[in-house]
Structure 1
Amino acid sequence: MTTVQVVIPVLKGSRRFIIERGRRWSVIEHLLLDAVSRGAASASDLAERSNLPRRVVVEAFIRLMRAGWVEIVSTPRGPLFQITAAGASRVQYEQLPSATVREPRWRGFAIEQVSGSVYRGRELDLYHKSRVPAHTEETPVVHLAASPTHFLEDMSEVFTTIEGEDEIIIGVDRGSEKLAERYAIVTVKDGEIDGLPGRAPEKLRLAILSAANHASAKLSENGKTVAPVIVIKEADEEVPAAVPGAYDSSDLIVDGDDHWRSFERIIMAASERVIIHSTFISGERATAVLPLLLRAAERGVKVDVLWGQDDLGSSTRSSQFAAAKMQAEIEAAGRNGSIRVHQFSTNSHAKIVFADSHKGWNALIGSCNWLASDYKSFETSFRLREPMLVGQLMRKLAGLAQGRPGVWNDFAIDLAVLGRRIMDTPSPGGRKVPMRLLYGADHAKLVLKARDDAISRIFALSHRIGITAESLTLLPALAAVKERGIDASFFYGRTTGPLSGEAGADLVRSFAKAGLQVKPIHKPRIHAKVLGWDDDYLAISSLNWLSADPSETKPFREIGVLVTAPKVADNYVGHFKHAVTT
């Protein structure tokens, strides 16, 4: 079989990382220390009570004794583990203090741009563009194209890859140098890939093998290669798995008043950090919200404000002007060091508020422009309380705050580190239901899932309706109507773009004849962006389901969450019907 060389685009970098080195105490070790704080006990007794292997118990106590927190005492019952005074002074801590040291270390890394996987500096052989081998008839060379999904590197993945045993990266010395564009080259022969680390993801392996097979198929009958092959098509992404998320029916935030109360509550409860991402900032609303943020700053809370874009169709960047005005008002109030309004656009339509509290981290995610809304529209957001999801969301915000690829600013680094820290915090107790975050093109895939899975109904609310409504949402729903006779209802507030009021009316009539309801709602004023089906599936997002076209090239322009919980969609429909009829 022909030997094919496959060229993979890579970003190569080196940074001075601040590393905290040293083993941290586990929850098991903390619990065992707590157990002997209530009375001396033997290893066998503790193993039986904890349902742990005796070896695990003994190894834990060896570490605790080395720290001077536990000692062995002789008793008529035999040798027992007993807490010391030093151990007793620490057992009540929320986390046991670790004996760690901080030190800076230069480390290299490489990020391949096909699937986004990260490697340590020497795991891949990298070449400058000038050294990439030329395509020949004897040895075909095929180039994989960089995926737009991985245009921005995930700093958290870089941290995870280069951390050694008992190491955690807690910061990065920002460098002015960009990541360098390089190329990794692997060889494929007889279906085997040579030169790729064993831990490379399946998606990358399949892309390499597919490219090599495609190149081989291009060979002419006399064994000469017709032309070099450039592979552009990206392999389909797997749908992310849902995770069990803390859930209460009160986590669903509906209508304007409830949004203002939730916004006020999350800011007032914050103890250290608040991070707000509002697509738009208006001068009037920023001035109205500022006293709330200033009171948080007086308590020692650090506040960061990000924004996504300017007003649709405006020739001026009104959000940028409002951001500058807001920062000037903060400076006049003497809180310039506590509240930062960042003066760049993330180019994201997402609407998110993060804040910590004594109960843990929360995030509000959904349709509300927190610094532009008058809080009189019918909005829908969701309160995330699950650390895994809140941390993941924070890591995505770090990418948005990064701006240009390969340039790591201090704020983006801070968010990446914070996101990982949040993910490691304990999950709150109580009820759990499946949840997963939605990014960019996930929304279009979710519409198809609703089309295929819905048994009784599909519904959506959208601020706007545009010409993309047919292909993105209405035609898939219509297929489910025709196939299974389900109910399909779509509600919107206004038309947008080339779809005029008259054209919108024609669209409504044509789909009504086919059995699908598309209805404008003028009271209340709809700004919610929701897709649901049957009784138990509800997606809350920043995406206008009837006007926006979620782009694969800008995966974090739209962000939402899918919640699967008994009656969550049914109860939401009840809220909406009540709002329409009152």
Structure 2
Amino acid sequence: KTGILPTTAAPAVSQPVAINTSFAADQLLVGSEQHLQRFEQIVGAAKSNIFVLSTFVASQTDEKGKEKRERIWQALEDACRRGVKCHLFFGTSLDRAKHAAAMQELYTRLSAVRQTRGYLLVQRDPVGSHAKFLLADDGDGGATAVMGSCNWLSSPFSAVEVSVELTETNAVATGMDLLREIIAKLSGASRSVETLLFMASEMRRQRSRLSAASEISAPTARLTILRADDHERLLRVAAHDAQERFICCTNKVGANMVPALFDPAEVAGRRLSDVRVYYSRRSGPVKRGHVAEHRERLNGLVELTGVPEPQLHAKFLAWDNDHIVVSSLNWGSQSGLEENPLDEIGLYLEGSDLATSLLEQFEAANR
């Protein structure tokens, strides 16, 4: 009506949440056996609540990896016997009925251990996120959160996985906030949401008490939470800023592999002598020949390595000596969407020699 066009501006880019925390290299979980052992230890120590979010759920009749996965089921059974509340979720909306049926089978198995109502909070609707969580109290006033690539309720535990274990109070409380946001869309998850809210509040009160008593350890790392759409921006920054090396591991390469991963790696490769991309599978329209063409094109700039066995299910980025991102995002086949920020979760850690340690463990697991 005024004849004056409205002023337009690009939307502001929200800054990821960043905190200073205590973190050591032994909190990097690399390899399937290490994940299995930590699941048993974390779940075995819990006295009140265990939360598991797995993208998929394996049927009780699934024979692939059944022997190792039985250790997961038995750890959860033991927790139920102790009276620990088990909050179980799955992420994918694909084959929804299949995974809902598998979750029902798991519910039936665990409920046979303890008939008391209210100890099994099992959701049969997907949360619509590719993130993977294991979160539990530690039985001693604290809690542990594990995030990364491992599908706890479906994995055959034969692939190379990479996850981060958080134990410092503020970091764990931040993980609880993330999981609470992811599951809040489910109407049946209200008790789980309330429990996570209460646990996170307790962790922060505990931190405040420790702070007042000057008992908090000096931060050793900076942790930045990456939501889905934060990943691509950080990968491109890393490709330009890396001074010594740039290494990325993705389970899959797919239709967007060139702009999403190969182009940034090439940028880094024109400056650095150590630029590597690892993958195990191809998805969508990508064929072996497509990848071979890019391997030849990038020869001398990027070492593009396919690893069929053991399958690399890990998703991480490492550059220089001190920078790592451990994520649920397949860097070479998926794009994080701004409209679905909780679809993928990554943890960016800056700390002394973290990249060096991660790569040493990864190379040992990949031999």
Q: Which residue in the other structure is 2:198 paired with?
A: 417
Structure 2 unpaired stretches of 5+: 61-65, 211-215
Q: Deviations over 1:6-61 (max 9, x none)?
A: xxxxxxxxxxxxxxxxxxxxxxxxxxxxxxxxxxxxxxxxxxxxxxxxxxxxxxxx
Q: Deviations over 1:348-397 (max 9, x none)?
A: 11111111111511101111001111111111011011221211221222
Where 2:341 maps in the other structure, the secondary structure is coil
Residue 488 of structure 1: CA displacement? 1.1
Return the match for 1:473 from 261, 264, 272: 261
Residue 232 of structure 1: CA displacement? 8.5
Return the match for 2:228 from 404, 415, 440: 440
Residues in 1 aligned to 2:260 and 2:57: alpha-carbon distance in whole angstroms: 29
1:397 aligns with 2:179: yes
Return the match for 1:292 from 65, 75, 80: 75
Check the 8 A contact 1:458/1:486 in 2, yes or no.
no
Check the 8 A contact 1:280/1:310 in 2, yes or no.
no
Residues in 1 aligned to 2:328 and 2:3: alpha-carbon distance in whole angstroms: 49
Decide whether aligned partners of structure 1 residues 274 and 409 sit closer, same or farther in structure 2, where only a CA change above 3 A counts: closer
Check the 8 A contact 1:387/1:424 in 2, yes or no.
no
Alignment of 1:248-327 (within 5 A): 248-284=24-60, 289-309=72-92, 317-327=97-107
Q: Relative contact order (alpha carbons < 8 A, sep ≥ 6): 1 or 2 greater? A: 2
Q: Which residue in the other structure is 2:3 paired with?
A: 225
Q: Which residue in the other structure is 1:554 paired with?
A: 340
> Which AA in structure 2 matches 1:394?
M
Check the 8 A contact 1:355/1:361 in 2, yes or no.
yes
Return the match for 2:13 from 236, 242, 262: 236
> Which AA in structure 1 matches 2:90?
W
Residues in 1 aligned to 2:323 and 2:114: alpha-carbon distance in whole angstroms: 47
Residues in 2 aligned to 1:437 and 1:247: alpha-carbon distance in whole angstroms: 15
Q: Which residue in the other structure is 1:187 paired with?
A: none
1:578 aligns with 2:364: yes
Return the match for 2:292 from 497, 501, 505: 505
1:450 aligns with 2:227: no
Check the 8 A contact 2:25/2:357 in 1, yes or no.
no
Residues in 1 aligned to 2:324 and 2:260: alpha-carbon distance in whole angstroms: 17
Q: Which residue in the other structure is 2:277 paired with?
A: 490
Check the 8 A contact 1:437/1:562 in 2, yes or no.
yes
Decide whether aligned partners of structure 1 residues 415 and 239 sit closer, same or farther in structure 2, where only a CA change above 3 A counts: closer
Residues in 1 aligned to 2:315 and 2:124: alpha-carbon distance in whole angstroms: 27
1:344 aligns with 2:125: yes
1:568 aligns with 2:354: yes
Where 1:435 maps in the other structure, the secondary structure is strand
Q: Which residue in the other structure is 1:104 paired with?
A: none
Residue 404 of structure 1: CA displacement? 6.6
Residues in 2 aligned to 1:281 and 1:231: alpha-carbon distance in whole angstroms: 46
Residues in 1 aligned to 2:50 and 2:160: alpha-carbon distance in whole angstroms: 25
Decide whether aligned partners of structure 1 residues 282 and 293 sit closer, same or farther in structure 2, where only a CA change above 3 A counts: same
Residues in 1 aligned to 2:316 and 2:279: alpha-carbon distance in whole angstroms: 11
Decide whether aligned partners of structure 1 residues 230 and 401 sit closer, same or farther in structure 2, where only a CA change above 3 A counts: farther
Residues in 1 aligned to 2:97 and 2:186: alpha-carbon distance in whole angstroms: 20
Return the match for 1:373 from 132, 151, 155: 155
Check the 8 A contact 1:398/1:412 in 2, yes or no.
yes
Return the match for 1:533 from 319, 333, 356: 319
Where 2:34 maps in the other structure, the secondary structure is helix
Check the 8 A contact 2:81/2:113 in 1, yes or no.
no
Residues in 1 aligned to 2:199 and 2:9: alpha-carbon distance in whole angstroms: 35
Residue 430 of structure 1: CA displacement? 6.8
Decide whether aligned partners of structure 1 residues 346 and 230 sit closer, same or farther in structure 2, where only a CA change above 3 A counts: farther
1:524 aligns with 2:310: yes
Residue 234 of structure 1: CA displacement? 2.2
Q: Under a length normalisation based on structure 2, what TM-score does the superposition of the two structures give?
A: 0.88
Moved over 4 A (4+): 229-233, 285-288
Residue 452 of structure 1: CA displacement? 2.4
> Which AA in structure 2 matches 1:504?
V
Residues in 2 aligned to 1:225 and 1:236: alpha-carbon distance in whole angstroms: 30
Where 1:378 maps in the other structure, the secondary structure is coil
Residue 429 of structure 1: CA displacement? 3.8
Residues in 2 aligned to 1:557 and 1:448: alpha-carbon distance in whole angstroms: 20
Q: Which residue in the other structure is 1:161 paired with?
A: none
Check the 8 A contact 1:536/1:567 in 2, yes or no.
yes
Decide whether aligned partners of structure 1 residues 453 and 278 sit closer, same or farther in structure 2, where only a CA change above 3 A counts: same
Residues in 2 aligned to 1:346 and 1:239: alpha-carbon distance in whole angstroms: 22
Higher strand fraction (1 or 2): 1
Q: Deviations over 1:293-323 (max 9, x none)?
A: 1211222211100110156xx5x64222211
Decide whether aligned partners of structure 1 residues 272 and 543 sit closer, same or farther in structure 2, where only a CA change above 3 A counts: same
Percent identity over the alignment is 25
Q: Which residue in the other structure is 1:170 paired with?
A: none
Alignment of 1:59-74 (within 5 A): none
> Which AA in structure 2 matches 1:225?
G
Decide whether aligned partners of structure 1 residues 373 and 230 sit closer, same or farther in structure 2, where only a CA change above 3 A counts: farther
Decide whether aligned partners of structure 1 residues 305 and 231 sit closer, same or farther in structure 2, where only a CA change above 3 A counts: farther
Decide whether aligned partners of structure 1 residues 436 and 535 sit closer, same or farther in structure 2, where only a CA change above 3 A counts: same
Query: How many residue pairs get matched?
Result: 351
Q: Which moved more, 1:261-270 or 1:570-579?
A: 570-579
Residues in 1 aligned to 2:7 and 2:76: alpha-carbon distance in whole angstroms: 52
Alignment of 1:114-133 (within 5 A): none
Check the 8 A contact 2:240/2:267 in 1, yes or no.
no
Check the 8 A contact 2:52/2:134 in 1, yes or no.
yes
